Amino acid sequence: MLFQFKKIVVLLVLTLVFSSCEKDDSISPVVTPEVVAEFKANLSELNLFSGNLNQLIITEKAFEYNINTTLFSDYAHKQRIIALPTGTSLQFNGDGLPIFPDNTVIAKTFFYNSDERDLSLGKTIIETRILIKINDNWETGNYVWNETQTDAILDTEGSTVPITWIDTDGNPNPTSYKIPSSTDCFTCHSNSDRILPIGPKLRSMNFNINGVNQLEQFISNQQLSGVASSSSVRSLPNWEDTSLSLETRARAYMDVNCAHCHIPGGTCADQSTLNLAFETTLEDSNILDQIALIDYRTSFYLEGISMPFIGTSMRHTEGLDLVQSYLNTLN
């Protein structure tokens, strides 16, 4: 009788265990939310990041991209990401910008490490710039991070943020970082009165990162279609690569820092004949006709006069010295 009772107890326990397991199996897996392709009041509402927002952990619904020669932004670091609608990809369209599907979201977050000698001391995130393609047109929006670094608020007015960061030599660098207004965004991103991305051209993304070609990775991940190999795409050189010629490095620097305005259709096209796209020949670029003016306007920083015209609050010593060294060879 006692044996029979124990047997019943064991069966009851096993029934409860299996029942519990069945309940666990029925729990739905966590679903990563889709990226929201519209301008919400708070950056967190766009679902571009997972976990704590200030960790900048990219959602599984997006991917990071980098460019070989970067735009100078007062020495700020940048995280660049693209979020494509599910089931879509970038479409090959030559060496320049690929064709982005509607509802693509491009985000670029600007931040400073507190101390470049010790990254464990954290960072200060300033802003996240957003481009969204809606009905075949790109729209811009800036999100300014709050002091507690918990979220960023949509802002169209622009502002100046004082920040001090320590470089690798241990020197403090006080900076008056300028967050652009909507007008500023249009100035740089406009071509023939249409807003376009600046950075994610295929030729700018065609380089190796940790031994792996970035475009090959995009092709393998089905994030880029219409091209079989990165060998079909030209590469914009890295201006910091000292193994390259002075002309190559200077022209690459001018391409990414100046050509979005100084090309046909750019904001400065009505005021200047310069065409600073890297592929443009020296003769067709009109650099030779404006050596003195370029040299003058890159030799110092004064808002509204020096170049780049907007987007910085200081002279980029390394890059602009390179440009001036190149100009000296043309005299």
**pLDDT tens, position by position, 224-233:** 999 999 999 9
Average pLDDT of 141-155?
A: 97
Are residue 230 and residue 242 in the same domain, yes or no? no
The residue count for the chain = 331
- The distance in angstroms from the start CA to the end CA of the chain is 110
pLDDT at 121 over 80: yes
Mean pLDDT of the chain: 91
Q: Taking the CA atoms of 128, 197, 320 and 312 in sequence, report the sign of the dihedral they define.
A: negative
5, part of any domain: no
Domain end (from 217, 235, 253): 235
Residues 208 and 63 placed together within one structural domain of the fold = yes
Under the banding of pLDDT at 50, 70 and 90, the label for residue 322 is: very high
pLDDT at 81 over 70: yes
**In the predicted model, is pLDDT for residue 7 greater than 70?**
no
Q: Which of 183, 201, 235 is the last residue of a domain?
A: 235
* Full residue range of the structural domain in which residue 243 is found: 237-331
Which pLDDT value is given to residue 182? 86
Q: Which H or E run includes 19? A: helix 2-25
| Average of per-residue pLDDT across 63-84 | 96
Residue 25 has pLDDT above 60, yes or no: no
C-alpha to C-alpha distances, 187 to 121, 166, 309, 310, nearest whole angstrom: 36, 31, 10, 9
Q: Is residue 177 part of a domain?
A: yes
The pLDDT value given to residue 26: 54
pLDDT at 10 over 70: no
What average pLDDT does the segment 182-187 reach?
84
Residues 217 and 258 in one domain: no
- pLDDT computed for residue 186 by the predictor: 80
